[in-house]
Structure 1
Amino acid sequence: MAGPIPNSVPQSTGTDSNRRFAFIVMTSLFFIWGFITALNDVLIPHLKAAFDLSYLEAGLVQFCFFGAYFVVSPFAGRLIEKVGFKKGIIIGLIGIAAGCSIFYPAAEMEVYFVFLFALFVLASGITILQVSANPYVVVLGEARTAASRLNLAQAINSLGHTLGPMFGAALIFGGGVAVVTAEAVQLPYLILAGVALATAGIFMFLKLPVITSGDPADESESANDSVWQHKRLVFGAIAIFMYVGAEVSVGSYLVNYFAESHIMSMSNYDASKMISYYWGAALIGRFIGAALTFYIKPNIILAVNSVLAIVFILVSVGSEGPIAMWTILAVGLFNSIMFPTIFSMAITGLGKLTSRGSGLLVQGIVGGALLPLLQGLVADLTSVQMSFLVPAFAYIYISWYALYGSRPDAADLAAANKTGEQTV
């Protein structure tokens, strides 16, 4: 576990009550982007039917959405350095509203690639929001409780993921109506645009604790440092890539998986509602993880969860009916603590590089763009069921990172010796 935050590590100003209020407010952002991201799992089968797409073509939804993380994250990290966390949050919310608004003309035009552009703009806003909010929550208190704090915030994110598919099933699939039209997405995304703008307006008037950069005397040494010198961070970015890719891949094809005759023969409407169980399991797991990381080393919890995810995927691939369905849904429980645990371990000890380190980690979310495409290709070549082996391989790397890749490297140890900070 990490010890108290040293002078060279970003810290938050304000009283304990101010920091608690800020944490509560920040969780609303985690809810918003979780809610919107989960809608993709409903949007993919809807657009696949509306435009008669292959699995690979439908996978472009996640490619454009999560591809924005890779493109925008480096710029977002530098933007936050210039304007600060609060303004970065407001800019991110405005970007979300803009992307959601483009869904209306995209549906009127009935052009698939305009939908993809809207998703890219929407995800760009979420990227800026994540680069702002994740490190803010990490440093909004003691370093030793950073993983627990981020797990709790991500639990609220999972609540958004859980409710999002229900919202999408009701408004996009219209309660099970057989006719699939592009116009069905207009109302839900206009509602989301309004919520994002209203939230941005609220944040403009909030007074949040300011994150300070630490000791100015360390400025020259930090300027000579680079995020690429911190192997635990770099390996962590790859772990984020694998985790998000695996999580999104599983969620993206659940509707089609449950529609298979040898699995559950469900309609798109009924299968869409089942996605909430996947994200609901992550919600429960993150609350449990927030408690466990107070007592158990985060890397041990991460290793156990990644191995269990592999086991349950293999059981699902080798089964039929309810067993295949419930075991793949249970993977959400083991996904639960992965993002906040990897993020908090990888970003420890970066000091003034925290914003850029956060940008690199968020850039790793591009895994959500690439692995679903690979799984879609495997599904086209084999079957939807066999395609779930793709995320299983991703969890193997996460197991390695938990046990070996997350160990402190020379750059981390040097920073720890200088500041007196404990490393994980």
Structure 2
Amino acid sequence: MPPVVSSADAPVAHTPQAGVRYGPALALLASLFFMWGFITVINNTLLPHLRSVFELSYTQTTLIESVWFIAYFFASIPSAKLIEKIGYQKSLVIGLLIMAAGAVGMMAAASIPSYGVTLVMLFVIASGITLLQVAANPYVAVVGKPETASSRLNLVQALNSMGTMLAPMFGAYLILGRSKSGTAAAGTVLSEADRLADAHSVILPYALVAVVLVILAVVIAKFPLPAMKSASPADKAKRSGLINPELFKHRNLVFGIPAIFIYLIAEIGVANLFVNFVSQPDIANLTHEQAGKYLSFLWGGMMVGRFAGSAIMQRFDAGKVLAFFSVGAFAVMMITVFAHGPVAMWSLILVGLFHSIMFPTIFTLGIKGLGPLTEEASGLLVMAIAGGALVVVQGWLADTYGLQTSFLLTAICELYVLFYALWGSKTTHAEPDLVPEAAG
């Protein structure tokens, strides 16, 4: 999943204090990036499982992920206010405990079992992740030398991708591999007893997740994290008004907000429906457990693509690289829609490689030339992550026109990203660059 940089009450960049070692703090924070990537992608193996347990339509199945991303919209501003009030370290602890509470709630939902309670608990977990993201990303950006901030963020984002790559294996073994629906052939009709037993298979993995989250919360609570200097009261006052109309003079931001929104529909739709798609008899004819393992290749491609894209963009224009990747994504999605057998499966896996650079590149292009308006612009781009909630549209298309045909929506999303790369990302009315402020 894309890491979020919050604009609200962001810490002020500072000059590192002599003798302060930031390595241990960064290593600990990297574990948070890994965990929220891991927990987010467990959903991709959880969704086909819940679809069988509760006999859900594709619309109802994708609604689960929509609830997840709605949490980004509702929890981001309260998270920023909480950080402003109690600080970054305590907010990280609270975020982990909220996630742990949601994991325990998932165990309860599996015991009942209840589709409604499952939706509520996933919202709780996503709200905790939102708090972590709002706190951890700007913290990583300023802890340490300013000139290596980009390197630090790329490193922890790679750890996030590692979590997304490993989560499908965990889910395949402990959820799909321990359930009748996960190991049965496609089209197998489950009895009521089978569905109840399958629901209970979720209890163990979420118990393990809850334990790890609580341990992390205790470690962070006791860890001597370097203190960050918050924005001054005068700066906060400047941000307390309505949205600055000057923002909308910048074409790269105006078209960048929907680019983030639309891209999230594509990324989340592919990941959520992957297992169901490749399990079909005319695609790869796999069990859900087997398909869940192949999902790791999709996320692994995103990790490889981020490393490669970072190196490529040191030599080539970011907009041109984004255009190339969007054309590649469109091509493999069209193959996915019209091909059959392993070709369709591997083309869908390949889209992960082409999606890899999209979020960070769109985000960077969207705030380019914003100068003193950068923080407000970043906030608007963060809110656009809620676009992942519209994955329910693809669920409706899958129910109405067929699962394979529904990936035409993804292809259309890639075309908007191409438009943004070639024209929408061009800067207008560029502002002077911001100069980092040293802590007093």
Partner of 1:3: none
Selected match of 1:326 from 336, 341, 346: 346
Q: Report the AA paired with residue 406 of structure 2.
A: S
Please tell me whether residue 402 in structure 1 is matched to residue 421 in structure 2: yes
**CA–CA distance in 2 between the matches of 1:84 and 1:228?**
30
Please tell me whether residue 161 in structure 1 is matched to residue 164 in structure 2: yes
What displacement does 1:363 show?
A: 2.4
* Superimposed CA distance per residue, residues 25-45 of structure 1 (whole angstroms, 9 cap, x where no aligned partner): 322111101111111111111
Selected match of 2:285 from 259, 265, 271: 265
Selected match of 2:388 from 348, 365, 368: 368
Selected match of 2:224 from 191, 207, 214: 207
What displacement does 1:348 show?
A: 5.7
TM-score normalised by L of structure 2: 0.84
Selected match of 2:212 from 178, 195, 200: 195
Partner of 1:11: 13
Partner SS for 1:388 = helix
Partner of 2:130: 127
What displacement does 1:374 show?
A: 0.9
**CA–CA distance in 2 between the matches of 1:202 and 1:93?**
11
Q: Residue 334 and residue 205 in structure 1: after superposition, are their counterparts in 2 closer, same or farther (change >3 A)?
A: same
Q: Report the AA paired with residue 379 of structure 1.
A: A
What displacement does 1:171 show?
A: 0.8
Partner SS for 2:201 = helix
What displacement does 1:91 show?
A: 2.0
**CA–CA distance in 1 between the matches of 2:348 and 2:156?**
24
Q: Residue 97 and residue 349 in structure 1: after superposition, are their counterparts in 2 closer, same or farther (change >3 A)?
A: farther
Please tell me whether residue 249 in structure 1 is matched to residue 252 in structure 2: no
Partner of 1:274: 294
Query: In percent, how many aligned pairs have the same letter?
Result: 43
What displacement does 1:330 show?
A: 0.6
Partner SS for 1:59 = helix
**CA–CA distance in 1 between the matches of 2:223 and 2:253?**
32
TM-score normalised by L of structure 1: 0.86
**CA–CA distance in 1 between the matches of 2:238 and 2:432?**
11
Q: Residue 141 and residue 244 in structure 1: after superposition, are their counterparts in 2 closer, same or farther (change >3 A)?
A: farther
Partner of 2:314: 294
Conservation of the 8 A alpha-carbon contact between 2:96 and 2:128: yes
Conservation of the 8 A alpha-carbon contact between 1:76 and 1:359: no
Partner of 1:78: 81
Please tell me whether residue 99 in structure 1 is matched to residue 102 in structure 2: yes
Partner SS for 1:253 = helix
Partner SS for 2:55 = coil
Q: Residue 359 and residue 219 in structure 1: after superposition, are their counterparts in 2 closer, same or farther (change >3 A)?
A: closer
Q: Report the AA paired with residue 31 of structure 1.
A: F
Q: Residue 347 and residue 177 in structure 1: after superposition, are their counterparts in 2 closer, same or farther (change >3 A)?
A: same
Partner SS for 1:127 = helix
Partner of 1:4: none
Conservation of the 8 A alpha-carbon contact between 1:131 and 1:359: no
**CA–CA distance in 2 between the matches of 1:352 and 1:204?**
34
Selected match of 2:362 from 342, 345, 356: 342
Conservation of the 8 A alpha-carbon contact between 1:74 and 1:359: no
Partner SS for 2:330 = helix
What displacement does 1:149 show?
A: 4.1
Q: Report the AA paired with residue 288 of structure 1.
A: A
Question: Which shows bigger deviation, 318-327 or 223-232?
Answer: 223-232
Number of residue pairs matched by the alignment:
410
Partner of 2:67: 64
Q: Residue 405 and residue 92 in structure 1: after superposition, are their counterparts in 2 closer, same or farther (change >3 A)?
A: farther
**CA–CA distance in 2 between the matches of 1:111 and 1:140?**
43
Please tell me whether residue 387 in structure 1 is matched to residue 406 in structure 2: yes
Conservation of the 8 A alpha-carbon contact between 1:375 and 1:387: yes
* Superimposed CA distance per residue, residues 333-374 of structure 1 (whole angstroms, 9 cap, x where no aligned partner): 11112222333444567788777655543322222211x211
**CA–CA distance in 1 between the matches of 2:406 and 2:436?**
47
Conservation of the 8 A alpha-carbon contact between 2:39 and 2:167: yes
Conservation of the 8 A alpha-carbon contact between 1:152 and 1:287: no
* Superimposed CA distance per residue, residues 67-98 of structure 1 (whole angstroms, 9 cap, x where no aligned partner): 11111112223333333333322221111111
